[in-house]
Amino acid sequence: MKLKRRLILIKDMIFSNFWYKLISIFVAFLLWLNINSTTKAKFQFYSYVDVINIKDNFVIEKVKPERVSITVREKKTFIKDINISQIQVYVDASNIKEGRNQLKVKVIAPDDFEILDIKPAEVIVYAKKIK
């Protein structure tokens, strides 16, 4: 008898206002789907720093650190195949002098990406003048 009462109680809990419960679960699912689809992908990766615009009479001996951490976020709402090879990380050595140079890291990314952070923002480039 006790078991029968419990089964009736469980049945009442599940099936009373069943359509309201079903609709509320469906609405909650739609809200969850909407929030997930509008979330933008954010990711971090490490990249080597290229040195560009080196004067003809200079040679780059060392770049410290060789790699920097880049944090990017997709601007579009739908996640697609992310190709980080399209992102270029470099320093401009057009005003370089012999010895130690502290240069700002620059990043070129496609329009689909927003650059959030570059760590470190500057690297040290050691250059040597050749004769």
CATH number at residue 99: 2.170.120.30
Digit-coded pLDDT (tens) for 25-65:
999 999 998 887 766 777 888 999 999 988 888 888 999 99
Element (H, E) at 35: helix 18-38
Number of domains forming the structure of the chain: 2
- Of 56, 75, 64, 77, the closest CA to residue 103 belongs to 64
Whole domain around residue 29: which residue ranges? 2-37
68 and 116 in a single domain? The answer is yes
100 and 46 in a single domain? The answer is yes
112 and 85 in a single domain? The answer is yes
Two structure tokens written together for 57: 């009479």
Q: pTM to 2 decimals?
A: 0.64
Rounded CA gap, 47 and 65, in Å? Answer: 11
Q: What's the CA angle centered on 104, arms 90 and 66, to 5 degrees?
A: 55
Rounded CA gap, 45 and 114, in Å? Answer: 14
